[in-house]
Structure 1
Amino acid sequence: MAHAFLFSCAMENQEKLNEMVGSRIRQARLNLNYTQSDVAERVEIDITHYSRIERGKSNPSLLVAYRICQLLQISLDDLFTD
């Protein structure tokens, strides 16, 4: 029973982290007046995947996160710190 609780807490934290990262990516994109399609094309991922990243429904690989940050002129640290 304890394992199920720990797994549930971990999943909840993962969802919150994904939402936070996605929100920060979205804000950086909007600051530069890019569309989701612009970013997806330039970082060479499918628009559907990019949209899911921004909505916190998917987490990017480290390489994709790096490419997104480079394009949006933010650091990887900006995704996780205030």
Structure 2
Amino acid sequence: MKNTIKVERARNNMTQAELADKVKVSRQTINAIETGKFIPSTLLAFKIAHVLQVSIDAVFRLEDCDW
């Protein structure tokens, strides 16, 4: 799963730590999601999109799916 969290954070002048605080996770979790090492739960994905003020599909994209 690809994401645009880093880009959207920059548009909102927000650090990883600030986003993490707003969605109640660690900065390390945000970093892991941004780098593709961790796929967030649906609820966390919606929280991130809400805080970044974009739709969930603007932040998260499924790529190379076989379905």
Q: One fold, TM greater than 0.5?
A: yes
1 CA distance for matches of 2:39 and 2:57?
A: 15
State the structure with bigger RCO (CA 8 A, min sep 6), 1 or 2. Answer: 2
**What amino acid does structure 1 have at the position aligned with 2:36?**
G
Query: What is the aligned counterpart of 2:23 among 32, 36, 43?
Result: 43
Structure 1 position 61, deviation (Å): 0.5
Query: What is the aligned counterpart of 1:28 among 1, 5, 8?
Result: 8
Q: Give the SS at the match of 1:58.
A: coil
1 CA distance for matches of 2:56 and 2:50?
A: 9
TM-score by length of 2: 0.83
5+ residue gaps, structure 1, are 1-16
Query: What is the aligned counterpart of 1:65 among 35, 45, 51?
Result: 45
C-alpha RMSD of the superposition: 1.3
- Identical pairs, percent: 33
Structure 1 position 80, deviation (Å): 2.1
Moved over 6 A (4+): none
Identify the structure with the greater helix proportion. Answer: 1
Q: Give the SS at the match of 2:20.
A: helix
Structure 1 position 66, deviation (Å): 0.4
